[in-house]
Amino acid sequence: MSIVEILLAVIALLMTIPSAFGALVIYHVFVRRKHEPADKSNRINHFRLVWFALTREELFVNLFPWMKRDEYDNMHS
């Protein structure tokens, strides 16, 4: 087994976590059945919400007080 094959195997192994996360996001945005009032026609807004949650977390801090605290504090409060 050459060094190139080993590096390719390591890269493939490391990429399984981001790929699984991406598949989970795609499932929840496009495949999973939506409940009222978010029906099938609201998929673009659902994707926007995912994008805002990933890029504008400061907008959600006032909605979810646990985001203001450290995770250790959340577990022990």
Q: What does the pLDDT average to over 29-56?
A: 81
pTM over 0.75: no
Domain ranges of the chain: 3-75
If pLDDT is split at 50, 70 and 90, which confidence band does 5 have?
Answer: very high
pLDDT tens readout for residues 16-26: 999 999 999 88
DSSP for 21-73? HHHHHHIIIIISPP-TTS-GGGHHHHHHHHHHHHH-GGGTTTT-GGGGS-HHH
- Average pLDDT over the chain reads 85
| Element (DSSP H or E) covering residue 8 | helix 3-14
